[in-house]
Amino acid sequence: MAAITHETGDWTLRLLLLGLGTYWQQILEDIVKRPYITVGFTAWLLLVPLALTSTRGWMRRLGRRRARLHTLVYAVGVLGVLHFLWLVKSDLREPLVYAAILALLLGRRAWWKLRRPQAQPPMRGA
């Protein structure tokens, strides 16, 4: 009985690994064939740390570093619009509206940042 249990366990593992190997091959083919999947999944992955660090506890732990981490939202916006553009095949009007809105928002953000006076580093020896 132990030999049968061991042998079926071995075959279960072999079939599982074979299935996973085939699945990963299919994923790689889909990534090459459909880059919008990769872009969308990357955007989703970048949202995960933002969601995890949005609780009060994480805000307190990260302090000012949280703001730097949350600048990932700009990359997510760009990737999201790119994903939508690549996903839509015929009528690009809606994704282009989102692209225009994103461009305006990012442009406005950059303009505000450039207009803000930069803090001068403290002078040494003064």
pLDDT per residue of the chain (126 residues) written in tens, 0 to 9: 888 888 888 888 888 888 878 877 888 888 788 889 889 989 999 999 999 998 999 999 999 999 899 999 999 999 999 999 999 988 999 999 999 999 999 999 999 989 987 766 666 665
Within a domain: 96: yes
Within a domain: 80: yes
Of 73, 79, 77, 72, which Cα lies nearest the Cα of 41?
Answer: 79
| CA–CA gap between residue 56 and residue 43 (Å, rounded) | 24
> For residue 73, what are the domain limits?
20-112
Of 51, 98, 60, 53, which Cα lies nearest the Cα of 78?
Answer: 98
Within a domain: 105: yes
Tally of domains within the chain:
1
Which amino acid does the sequence have at 6?
Answer: H
- Environment class of 79 (CB within 10 Å of its CB; exposed 0-12, middle 13-18, buried 19+): buried
Within a domain: 123: no
Within a domain: 89: yes
Within a domain: 118: no
